[in-house]
Structure 1
Amino acid sequence: MNSNELSRVITQRVACDWRAAYALAADPARLPEWASGLADGALAREGEHWVATTPGGRAVLRFAPANEFGVLDHWVAPEGVPEVYVPFRVVGVAPGACELQFTLLRQPHMDDAAFAHDAEWIARDLRALRALLEAPAR
């Protein structure tokens, strides 16, 4: 990686129908089950927004409206930092299989090490989401 890299698409193949994956991933209340970078602690709805306790402190979250296209885009506004746009998709790739596609956009304050750290964190969270989606029904 180099400092000229402005974005990175992090993917995870999942043995799950894309609609089921979308339904789980689109539910903000389920974020603490897999999104450690976004909702590592308390998560609460406040009107149209959600408020999460993240590793960096409190953050206000907004989500793309429910849709039939697998778009899970969201916006994160950590305290004292401008809102960050987060493109995220669930794409059906075969019957009973999908791919999670998360685009990490480098923020102006990020050096190469911080960008790489965020990419690793996102990959870990996507693996956690895959494990949740592929777990046998209880």
Structure 2
Amino acid sequence: MATESRHVTEHIDRPARVVYAYAADPANLAHWAPGLGSSVRLEDGRWLVDVPGGGAAEVVFVPRNDFGVLDHEVLLPGGGIVHVPFRVLADGEHAEVVFTVRRAAGMTDEEFDRDAAAVAADLARLKRILEG
């Protein structure tokens, strides 16, 4: 059975290369994605974030690239892996960011809506930071 996905987007009035450079730096997560990254830290070459219930998850981005791909995996303390598709697309002199929210197994409609709303808030915060 296919996983349900929702694409959450935001247009940012900055060049795509600028948006990509900022969003590709895990150290910036705490500024624009506090739900994931309020506790971001680099330990032994690994980007870690504290998770509810204790423990730390590792965030692993794809290597930097010229295509605007910011896909990453969140390696959970219990061994689970969350795959996160994320793109920065050029839109003329500006950028569009596209973040794919996937419904986890057993997730209710309300939980899925809440996750998508949290991502939308994070992308709006990214826009404010980069346009400010």
So what's the TM-score if we normalise by structure 1?
A: 0.87
Aligned-residue Cα RMSD (Å) equals 1.7
Pair 1:49–1:83, CA change in 2 (3 A): same
Equivalences, count = 130
- Name the amino acid aligned to 1:52: V
Q: Deviations over 1:54-96 (max 9, x none)?
A: 456421111110100000001012322511000000000111x
Structure 2 unaligned blocks of 5 or more:
none
Pair 1:17–1:54, CA change in 2 (3 A): farther
Q: 2:47 aligns with which of 47, 50, 72?
A: 50
- Name the amino acid aligned to 1:11: T
Conserved 8 A contact 1:59-1:77: yes
103-112 vs 11-20, which moves further: 103-112
- Name the amino acid aligned to 1:100: V
So what's the TM-score if we normalise by structure 2?
A: 0.91
Which residue is equivalent to 2:16?
18
State percent identity of aligned pairs.
42
SS at match of 2:37: coil
CA distance in structure 1 between the partners assigned to 2:116 and 2:69 by the alignment: 20
1:44-123 correspondence runs (5 A): 44-55=41-52, 57=54, 58-80=56-78, 82-95=80-93, 97-123=94-120
Pair 1:54–1:132, CA change in 2 (3 A): farther
SS at match of 1:65: coil
Which residue is equivalent to 2:29?
31
- Name the amino acid aligned to 1:98: A
Pair 1:120–1:83, CA change in 2 (3 A): same
